[in-house]
């Protein structure tokens, strides 16, 4: 029996920004007096439908792209599949060229074949040389008349290890338009629906998905596969835990596929992730990459890890992300050919085997932040790896227009990172985590950002109270954190009402010619700067005129912790450009919060070992299905 691992597909939307992810038409350019082959965007009219594309006479189109090349190294490393067949259907006179790459991105041609008329060409490929990395792809070159790629797929005769489909769980809070868009894309993708047993929408908002105008149509198309579950806002962890629990209770699926609400999906990716999970040598968490929904050729997350010493998440090759595929395609980017192993995958899209749920439980009651990373670390310790698979991706609103370390989410950033470290860090006293946490407080204090520091201290006190606080405060921690914002004028975003706010001394500009003397301090200068600034904020009151009116103005990108503290007050643009915040020095608050920072972090370090034992002892109960059912039923 033939099993399709991956279809060659073209974009659902007629969006020219998307084409570099699917097809690379090639032209010649001249660089340094030498001819160089570069990519150009295809004409949308040559994309005939979801599977078919026209190649103009004399032109060459490469399918060595993010969504259409085959990630051979991941299939070789994580599955027992060794024999793969590429089947390409064409009409017209054309030449097919099949290539492979290695982990360094070096290209090698595997086979060339000329075709004419209605042709079906098959290429048998062996996965035995891709341990460090590498893709396989094909190009189509039209002869003296147009040719058409009628379809192509990557298949194997080997049967999957697991045959169960997936229950897809979407957690949403007041984003009904996005949710209905996702449901509509699934309804129009029978090849993906074939692998989906059930679609659960966990609606935790006040604006219901069922009230969206387009909902009845997609509900009718999806039929009894679709179910809406309403519950109070328990955050992402509460919504996804509900999807996990319902999947276990139903007993019909081999996987649960978690999906965020503010996304646009590629249905083929949903299918590919489930198929990869079915073939994985051991039960494996299969994660998706994340493209920017508002800048669609840009890839933000490839493989994510948690660094042990500071216990902090990051993307591998972070200095090279985001990667813009409209500037450099897959074949031009060697670092995208290496196999990268992940510690965890974000829950914007993540497939979890039922075996994993049964072995390690559900999500922690974390509300948001670190629930995905903690779960994958927990699963990894139990023998269930996480693989972020190339060619499996969606578009998600990126964090470029956000700064959630300054709003109510600061509580969850601080608490959940430390809780995850208490559960999983092997470093004495958490390594450098507490030092880094204290530094975060100091930077906020010097920046006159007292609200996030107050929230972070609330988080530390809750951690010190023991693990029971997590479930007890699951439904109340977020409203309490948001309510607290009213006590801090810095949280007010001053919108442009036609007369923009201005600073007394004008806007501070930091270009190549104008730099601050401490821009940016390192080594001994950093220590001297920090001590002087902390002392100055402790000793000196701000000038009255600077309290009454902002002293200076900063663009968001210039408002660094080593610049803003030199002033009594600052007008700073909001991260999303919607307005401005005013930060004003408050000596009383600063002194109190600085003392709290020192004392709380000192106590955490002193009690780290005993706290780690308490949290680890309660970890199974915190994430158990029985405990979560009590929460869903309002019993905790």
Q: How far apart are CA 88 and CA 432, in angstroms?
A: 53
Q: How far apart are CA 543 and CA 540, in angstroms?
A: 9
| Residues 206 and 174 sit within 8 Å (Cβ to Cβ) | yes
The verdict on pTM exceeding 0.75 is yes
Q: Say if residue 418 is exposed, middle or buried (CB neighbours under 10 Å; 0-12, 13-18, 19+).
A: buried
| Residues 170 and 185 sit within 8 Å (Cβ to Cβ) | no
Q: What angle (nearest 5°) sits at the alpha carbon of residue 148, between those of residues 145 and 151?
A: 160
| Residues 577 and 496 sit within 8 Å (Cβ to Cβ) | no
pLDDT, tens only, 127-152: 999 999 999 999 999 999 999 999 99
pLDDT at position 208 over 60: yes
Residue 397 or 367, more confident: 367
- The answer as to CATH 3.90.550.60 being correct for domain 3-156 is yes
Q: How far apart are CA 262 and CA 205, in angstroms?
A: 13
The pLDDT confidence band at residue 42, using thresholds 50, 70 and 90, is low
Q: What is the mean pLDDT of residues 265-282?
A: 98
Cβ count near 574 (within 10 Å)? 17
- CATH number for the region 182-303+341-396 comes to 3.90.550.60
Q: Please check whether the two domains, 3-156 and 182-303+341-396, share a CATH topology.
A: yes
Q: How far apart are CA 63 and CA 12, in angstroms?
A: 17
Range among 174-188, 501-515, 528-542 with highest mean pLDDT value: 174-188
The pLDDT confidence band at residue 517, using thresholds 50, 70 and 90, is very low
Taken in order 323, 341, 387, 175, is the CA torsion positive or negative? negative
Selection from 334, 286, 324, 380 nearest residue 133 by Cα:
334
Tell me, rounded to whole angstroms, the distance of Cα 478 from its chain centroid: 22
Q: What angle (nearest 5°) sits at the alpha carbon of residue 215, between those of residues 210 and 217?
A: 145
What's the pLDDT score for residue 636? 57
Share of the chain above pLDDT 70, in %: 95
What's the pLDDT score for residue 14? 82
pLDDT at position 105 over 60: yes
Torsion of CA 59, 64, 65, 67, to 10 degrees: 120
Q: At residue 609, what are phi and psi to the nearest 5 degrees?
A: -60, -45
Beta strands at 147-156 and 53-55: parallel, antiparallel or unpaired: antiparallel
What's the pLDDT score for residue 29? 47
pLDDT, tens only, 561-605: 888 899 999 999 887 777 899 999 999 999 999 999 999 999 999
Residue 157 to residues 40, 84, 493: CA-CA distances in angstroms? 36, 8, 59
pLDDT at position 498 over 80: no
What's the pLDDT score for residue 27? 56
Residue 203 to residues 200, 226, 395, 527: CA-CA distances in angstroms? 9, 13, 21, 49
Where along the chain do its domains lie? 3-156, 182-303+341-396, 410-589
pLDDT, tens only, 214-255: 999 999 999 999 999 999 999 999 999 999 999 999 999 999
Q: How far apart are CA 155 and CA 2, in angstroms?
A: 6
Residue found under tokens 């680890």: 616
| Residues 482 and 408 sit within 8 Å (Cβ to Cβ) | yes
What's the pLDDT score for residue 495? 86
**Angle between helix 267-279 and helix 176-187 axes, rounded to 10 deg:** 70
Catalytic residues: 372
What's the pLDDT score for residue 49? 93
| Residues 397 and 348 sit within 8 Å (Cβ to Cβ) | no
Tokens of 279: 């073939």
The mean predicted confidence, pLDDT, of the chain is 92
The pLDDT confidence band at residue 40, using thresholds 50, 70 and 90, is low
Which secondary-structure segment (H or E) carries 128?
none
What's the pLDDT score for residue 527? 84
Q: What angle (nearest 5°) sits at the alpha carbon of residue 502, between those of residues 500 and 503?
A: 165
Residue 530 or 434, more confident: 434
pLDDT, tens only, 333-381: 999 999 999 999 999 999 999 999 999 999 999 999 999 999 999 999 9
Which secondary-structure segment (H or E) carries 122?
strand 119-126
pLDDT at position 454 over 50: yes
Q: How far apart are CA 362 and CA 365, in angstroms?
A: 9
Which secondary-structure segment (H or E) carries 540?
none
Tokens of 509: 């500009």
Edge-to-edge strand order for the sheet containing 60-62?
34-39, 24-31, 60-62, 136-142, 94-101, 107-115
pLDDT at position 30 over 50: no
Beta strands at 552-554 and 196-203: parallel, antiparallel or unpaired: unpaired
Cis previous bond, 322, omega within 30: yes
In 3-state terms, what secondary structure has residue 85? strand
What's the pLDDT score for residue 116? 97
Q: How far apart are CA 324 and CA 336, in angstroms?
A: 12
Selection from 259, 257, 273, 260 nearest residue 389 by Cα:
273
Q: CB under 8 Å, gap of 24 or more: what pairs does 402-409 form?
A: 402/575, 402/576, 403/556, 403/575, 405/452, 406/449, 406/451, 406/452, 407/452, 407/485, 407/491, 408/455, 408/478, 408/481, 408/482, 408/484, 408/485, 409/368, 409/369, 409/481
Q: At residue 163, what are phi and psi to the nearest 5 degrees?
A: -115, -5
Share of the chain above pLDDT 90, in %: 80
Q: How far apart are the first and last CA of the chain?
A: 50
């Amino acid at each position: 029996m033939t099993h399709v691992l991956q279809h060659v597909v073209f974009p659902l939307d007629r969006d020219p920004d998307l084409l570099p992810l699917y097809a690379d038409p090639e032209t010649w350019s001249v660089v340094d007096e030498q001819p160089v082959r570069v990519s150009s965007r295809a004409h949308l009219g040559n994309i005939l439908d979801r599977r078919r594309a026209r190649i103009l006479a004399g032109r060459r189109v490469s399918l060595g792209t993010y969504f259409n090349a085959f990630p051979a190294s991941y299939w070789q490393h994580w599955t027992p599949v060794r024999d793969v067949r590429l089947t390409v259907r064409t009409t017209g006179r054309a030449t097919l060229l099949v290539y492979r790459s290695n982990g360094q991105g070096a290209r090698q041609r595997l086979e060339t074949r000329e075709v004419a008329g209605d042709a079906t060409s098959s290429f048998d490929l062996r996965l035995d040389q891709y341990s460090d990395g590498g893709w396989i792809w094909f190009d189509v070159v039209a002869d003296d008349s147009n040719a058409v790629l009628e379809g192509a797929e990557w298949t194997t005769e080997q049967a999957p290890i697991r045959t169960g489909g997936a229950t897809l769980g979407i957690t949403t809070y007041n984003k009904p338009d996005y949710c209905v868009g996702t449901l509509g894309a699934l309804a129009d993708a029978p090849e993906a629906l074939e692998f989906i047993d059930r679609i659960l929408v966990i609606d935790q908002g006040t604006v219901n998905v069922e009230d969206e105008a387009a909902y009845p149509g997609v509900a009718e198309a999806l039929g009894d596969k679709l179910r809406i579950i309403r519950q109070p806002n328990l955050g992402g962890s509460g919504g996804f835990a509900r999807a996990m629990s319902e999947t276990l209770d139903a007993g019909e699926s081999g996987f649960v596929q978690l999906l965020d609400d503010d996304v646009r999906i590629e249905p083929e990716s949903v299918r590919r992730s489930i198929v990869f999970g079915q073939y994985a040598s051991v039960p494996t968490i299969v994660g998706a990459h994340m493209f920017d929904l508002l800048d669609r050729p840009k890839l933000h997350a490839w493989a994510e890890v948690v660094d042990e010493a500071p216990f902090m998440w990051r993307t591998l090759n972070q200095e090279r992300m985001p990667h813009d595929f409209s500037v450099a395609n897959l074949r031009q980017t060697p670092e995208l050919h290496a196999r990268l192993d992940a510690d965890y995958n974000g829950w914007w899209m993540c497939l979890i085997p039922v075996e994993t749920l049964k072995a390690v439980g559900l999500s922690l009651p974390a509300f948001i932040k670190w629930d995905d990373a903690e779960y994958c670390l927990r699963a990894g310790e139990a023998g269930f790896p996480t693989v972020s698979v190339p060619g499996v991706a969606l578009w998600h609103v990126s964090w470029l227009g956000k700064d959630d370390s300054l709003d109510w989410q600061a509580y969850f950033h601080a608490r959940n990172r430390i809780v995850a470290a208490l559960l999983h860090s092997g470093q004495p006293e958490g390594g450098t985590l507490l030092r880094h946490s204290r530094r975060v407080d100091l930077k906020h204090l010097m920046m006159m950002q007292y609200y996030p520091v107050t929230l972070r201290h609330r988080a530390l006190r809750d951690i010190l109270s023991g693990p029971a606080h997590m479930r007890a405060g699951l439904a109340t921690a977020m409203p309490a954190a948001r309510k607290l914002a009213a006590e801090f004028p810095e949280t007010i975003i001053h919108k442009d009402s036609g007369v923009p706010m201005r600073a007394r001394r004008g806007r501070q500009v930091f270009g190549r010619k104008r730099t601050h003397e401490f821009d940016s301090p390192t080594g001994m200068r950093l220590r001297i700067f920090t001590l002087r600034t902390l002392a100055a904020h402790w000793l000196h009151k701000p000038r009255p005129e600077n309290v009454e009116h902002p002293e200076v103005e900063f663009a968001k990108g210039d408002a660094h912790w080593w610049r803003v503290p030199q002033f009594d007050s600052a007008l700073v643009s909001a991260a999303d450009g919607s307005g401005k915040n005013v930060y004003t020095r408050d000596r009383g608050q600063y002194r109190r919060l600085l003392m709290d920072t020192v004392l709380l972090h000192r106590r955490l370090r002193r009690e780290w070992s005993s706290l780690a034992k308490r949290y680890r002892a309660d970890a199974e109960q915190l994430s158990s299905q029985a405990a979560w059912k009590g929460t869903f039923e309002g019993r905790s």
